[in-house]
Amino acid sequence: MNWFIGTGIFASMCLEGFTRRNITFSKIITGQPTRSGRSGKEQPSPVELKASELGLSVVRTGRLTDNQELINCLNDERPEYIFVIDFGQIIRDPFLSCMCLNIHPSLLPKYRGAAPIQRALLDGENSAGVTLFRLAGAMDAGDIIAQSETIITPEDNASDLYIRLSSMGCDIAAEALSHELTFTPQDNSRATFAPKITKQEHEALFTMTAANFCNTVRALDMSGGAFVFFRGKRLKLWRCRVHEDIKAEIPGQVLEIDGGVIVSCCDFGVELLEVQAEGRNRTTGSEWARGVRLKLGDRL
C-alpha cells in the first residue's frame, strides 16, 4: 500500500495523473483549508478538491510531525512508498524513514525550491523537466531515480508547463515503480534555487527587455498574474508577444493600436494579447483599448 501527501496545484494534477494510471493510495493526506476573500470562507486545498472530484477521501493535517494519529497509522501500516508532492512542509522522521518519493518539476539539482516552473520561465530557459527522487533531509537534495525533459516553446506559460510536467512526472513514476528502484546522488555543486515569487515581482516593467517582460507574464499566469499600471489602476496581463520587428521608443509608450495593442519596452515592442482591468473580466488587448479609448502615444 502507498500513501500520497500533497496540498498544492501541482500535487492535485499528479494525483489525477496517478488515478488515470491506476496507481492507488490507501491514504491521501493534505493540508488544512485556508481562508481567503473578505468573507473569510474556508477554501479546501487543491488536492482535497481534486480528490473530491475523483471520489477519493482525504485526511487533513496541520504540522505533519505533530499528528500523532497519522504517526500511529504509519507505524501500523508501514506503506511501501509515500509520495510527497507540493506539500509545503519539511518532511521529518518518522515519515522520512520510509521510502518518501517526490515528483519535482525541474531537472534537479537545478531549480531546487518552491517555484521551479516560474523561475525557469523568468530566466528564459529553453527547456524544463521533471525529476523523481527520494526525499532527504536537505531541500530537494535526495538521490535521483528518473528524469524527463521537455522543450519550452515561446507560447508556453506556467499553466501549460504544470499540466505537461505533472503528466510526465506520473509517467516516469509509474515506469520506475514497475521495477526495482535505482538511485543516483545529485551533484550539489550544480545546484540552483527557485524561491517563492515575491509580490514585487508581479509588476511587469516596460523598462525591461521585451523578452523579460513577456517572460514575467508567462511565469505568473498561475500566481495571480503580472500587471502594469494604467491611469493609476492595475491592468493584469495574461498573454503577450514580443515584436522584434518594432524597435523601442519611449518605454511604456503605445506604438500601435490597429490590429493589436503594441507598447514599447526598452528594446522592442510587446503586443498585449489578453488583459484584465480592475473589476473586469479578461478580454483581448484590442477590446480593452477600445473600451478605454487608448490612443497612439499614450503611456502605460
> Could you report the per-residue pLDDT of 109-135, keeping only the tens digit for each?
999 999 999 999 999 999 999 999 999
What is the rounded distance in angstroms from the CA atom of residue 168 to the CA atom of residue 4? 18
Predicted local distance difference test score (pLDDT) of residue 123: 97
- Per-position pLDDT tens, the chain of length 300: 899 999 999 999 999 999 999 999 999 999 999 887 666 788 999 999 999 999 999 999 999 999 999 999 999 989 999 999 999 999 999 999 999 999 999 999 999 999 999 999 999 999 999 999 999 989 999 999 999 999 999 999 999 999 999 999 999 999 999 999 999 999 999 999 999 999 999 999 999 999 999 999 999 999 999 999 999 999 999 999 999 999 888 999 999 998 899 999 999 999 999 999 999 999 999 999 999 999 999 999
β-bridge mates for residue 184, sequence order:
144
What is the rounded distance in angstroms from the CA atom of residue 160 to the CA atom of residue 170? 16
Q: Cell 511587469 appears where?
A: 204
**With the C-alpha atoms ordered 31, 160, 184, 17, is the resulting torsion angle positive or negative?**
positive
**With the C-alpha atoms ordered 77, 82, 88, 91, is the resulting torsion angle positive or negative?**
positive
- What is the CA angle 189-101-86, rounded to 5? 85
Nearest CA-CA partner of 102 in 60, 139, 151:
139
Predicted local distance difference test score (pLDDT) of residue 195: 96
User: Model-level pTM?
Assistant: 0.93
Predicted local distance difference test score (pLDDT) of residue 37: 66
What is the rounded distance in angstroms from the CA atom of residue 92 to the CA atom of residue 115? 21
DSSP-derived 3-state class of residue 61: strand
- Are the C-beta atoms of 185 and 125 separated by less than 8 Å? no
Q: Spell out where the chain has E strands.
A: 2-6, 27-31, 34-36, 41-43, 59-61, 81-85, 100-104, 127-134, 144-151, 226-230, 233-247, 254-256, 261-264, 268-277, 283-284
- Which segments of 3-81 does DSSP mark as H helices, in order? 9-20, 46-53, 68-77
